[in-house]
């Protein structure tokens, strides 16, 4: 008995050709022309302003400006102060004190490196805390571009307030305990957004 042979329908041949063309087009689009590999042009980076939050510079507002090598940053806002201590008893029971304060920071950021979307700097500067007094600090800073006019700002570092212990005593710090870590050393980090108009 002869075997029936079916010719492919013209419609199925067209469908296969269409699928092959779609795959080839999507592959070429994924690779993209050479000019697509260039980073997106960014807006000006001479001046920026935005919100920030953390335990290094406080939670409030930051603004900065300058050139490609050095920028100045001014940050101010609310700063919680946490002091962990041990009681002056044989069992050295843990104690905890909390203070509300405000803090201003004036820093210079020295450019360290630049990548297509990331910029790194070293920040050093002056700090004034309403509870701890005058101080200074140093931190590493990264600006990560989220778009042409906005960047994520991450700062991690340490602050030193030389007269913190005396200032805490003036603010009624209890005499029945000893801080388990020197209150003169503060800091951790801040996270914020910087908008470049």
CB distance 126 to 101 below 8 Å: no
Domain 47-195: state its class: mainly beta
Summarize pLDDT for 147-161 with one digit per residue, the tens: 989 999 999 999 999
**DSSP state letters, 105-158:** EEEEEEEEEE-SSEEEEEEEEEEEETTTEEEEEEEEEEEEEEETTEEEEEEEEE
pLDDT of 163 > 50? The answer is yes
pLDDT at position 42: 54
Tokens in use for 52? 């920030």
Domain boundaries, the chain: 9-38, 47-195
Q: Give the DSSP letter of residue 96.
A: E
pLDDT band at 41 (very low <50, low <70, confident <90, very high): low
CB distance 55 to 100 below 8 Å: no
Q: H or E segment at 14?
A: helix 10-31
| Cβ atoms < 10 Å from Cβ of 151 | 24
Measured CA to CA, the distance from residue 27 to residue 66 in angstroms comes to 43
CB distance 155 to 141 below 8 Å: yes
Which residues contact residue 66 at a Cβ distance below 8 angstroms, ignoring those fewer than 6 apart? 46, 72, 109
> For all residues of the chain together, what is the average pLDDT?
84
Q: What is the pTM of this model?
A: 0.74
Give me the phi and psi of 22, to 5 degrees please.
-65, -40
pLDDT band at 45 (very low <50, low <70, confident <90, very high): confident
């Amino acid at each position: 008995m002869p075997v029936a042979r079916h010719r492919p329908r013209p419609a199925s041949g067209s469908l296969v050709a269409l699928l092959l063309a779609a795959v080839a087009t999507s592959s070429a689009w994924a690779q993209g022309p050479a000019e697509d590999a260039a980073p997106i042009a960014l807006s000006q980076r001479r001046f920026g302003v935005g919100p920030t939050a953390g335990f290094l510079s406080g939670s409030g507002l930051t603004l900065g400006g300058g050139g490609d090598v050095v920028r100045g940053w001014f940050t101010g806002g609310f700063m919680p102060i946490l002091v962990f201590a041990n009681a002056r008893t044989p069992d050295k029971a843990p104690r905890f004190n909390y203070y509300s304060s405000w803090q201003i920071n004036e820093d210079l950021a020295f450019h360290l490196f630049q990548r297509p979307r990331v910029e790194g700097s070293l920040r050093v500067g002056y700090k004034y805390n309403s509870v701890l007094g005058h101080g200074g600090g140093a931190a590493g800073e990264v600006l990560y571009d989220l778009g042409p006019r906005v960047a994520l700002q991450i700062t991690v570092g340490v602050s030193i307030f030389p007269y913190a212990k005396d200032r805490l005593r003036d603010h009624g710090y209890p005499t029945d305990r000893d801080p388990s870590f020197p209150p003169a050393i503060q800091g951790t980090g801040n996270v914020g957004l910087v908008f470049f108009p």
